Amino acid sequence: MYKHAEAVSNPKEQLFKNSMEHKTLLWRRQPAVIRIDRPSRLTRARSLGYKAKQGLVLARVRVRRGGLHKTRSKGGRRQKRTGITKYVPAKSSRLIAEERAAREFPSLEVLNSFWVWEDGQYKWFEVILVDPNSPYIEKDADINWLCKGVQRGRVHRGLTSAGKKMRGRS
């Protein structure tokens, strides 16, 4: 796929679309959060800070699509007032994917994430994670700002780009 950088940068291109439909059959059988060797969209990953070096980890996260439902309340009232449907979360599915990746890899920090693919049931995101204790990251001037911070858990404090969007900052 790396030969076709233009097709990969525009995921709705027919060449990329055909290959992704075959990959989603495999991805559905995999766990919801899985570590991967290389990104599916290399140009997008590089634009968000990914480098092929030790200390940087990629994870593919699967998130269910669709609206949420609350449990139906006991007791008599008309359906309109039960508040079951149209229950919308305040978080985007991309932020949910970042948080799940952070929980799966507790010693790593989330740098950023990007959309990979979606079908009728799931959305897939690739999350770039950084090991702040790695000496290779400490030497890298572009990413070593993550090593200096005392506080951990950028994603849970809304400091990633998806978290800033949720908080109303661009």
- The tokens of 60 are what? 């593919």
CA-to-CA distance for 112 and 48, rounded, in angstroms? 6
Pairing of strands 56-64, 109-118: unpaired
CATH of the domain at 98: 3.40.1120.10
Q: What is the CA radius of gyration of the chain?
A: 18
pLDDT band with cut points at 50, 70 and 90 for residue 88? confident
The per-residue pLDDT for range 34-47, each reduced to its tens digit, is: 999 999 889 999 99
Residues spanned by the domain of 73: 5-166
Distance CA(97)–CA(61), nearest Å, equals: 6
pTM recorded for the entire structure:
0.85
- Per-residue confidence band for 62, with pLDDT thresholds at 50, 70 and 90: very high
Q: Are 35 and 58 in contact, with CB atoms under 8 Å apart?
A: yes
CB 71 within 8 A of CB 32: no
Which range is least confidently modeled, 7-11, 63-67, 92-96? 7-11
CA distance 60 to 114: 10
61: left (phi over 0), alpha (psi -120 to 50) or beta: beta
What's the rounded mean pLDDT across residues 89-118? 94
Q: Please give the structure tokens belonging to residue 143.
A: 């990413």
* Beta carbons within 8 Å of 72's beta carbon, 6+ residues apart: 82, 84
In single-letter form, the type of residue at position 151 comes to Q
Alpha carbon of 141 to those of 30, 42, 71, 138: distances in Å? Answer: 35, 21, 49, 8
Per the structure, the count of domains in the chain is 1
